[in-house]
Amino acid sequence: MDKVFIEALEIEALIGIYDWERRIRQALVFDIEMAFDNRVPAASDAIEDTLNYKDISRRVEEYVSQSGFGLVETLAERVAEIILDEFGVSHVRLKLSKPGAVRGARAVGVIIERSAGRSPEGISGLL
């Protein structure tokens, strides 16, 4: 399957479990890979046939900037659900990084992979 990707999408968000984190907005960085059959848009050369990464970026930015989760794990799951449900993607791999969260590390975060129509229990065997 082909992949469409969005790399290093930086979004300011309210995220974290500590009191000081709940008072400031922090930069989060998203790397998103989505399974998509690119043969149709390649043949038609029409934007309507593509997986529009600009629309996806805007939707993710809108959601993340308005969220207020404690855990990056929760935010990653919700963003993956949005991409799968709203954009007809069959599979998504999402890396969510929280730069500067740990002294000495460039970033920390999570990488998740989800497929449409599969529960988290069904996915655990794939990871």
98 catalytic per annotation: yes
Q: Which amino acid is at 98?
A: K
Among 110, 112, 71, 76, which residue's Cα sits nearest to residue 91? 112
State the catalytic residue, choosing from 3, 54, 95, 98.
98
Question: d(Cα 96, Cα 55) in Å, to the nearest integer?
Answer: 19
Distance CA 45, CA 65 (A): 33
The size of the chain, in residues, is 127
User: CA of 108: how far to CAs of 14, 21, 33, 76, 126, in Å?
Assistant: 16, 15, 19, 13, 22
Catalytic residues: 98
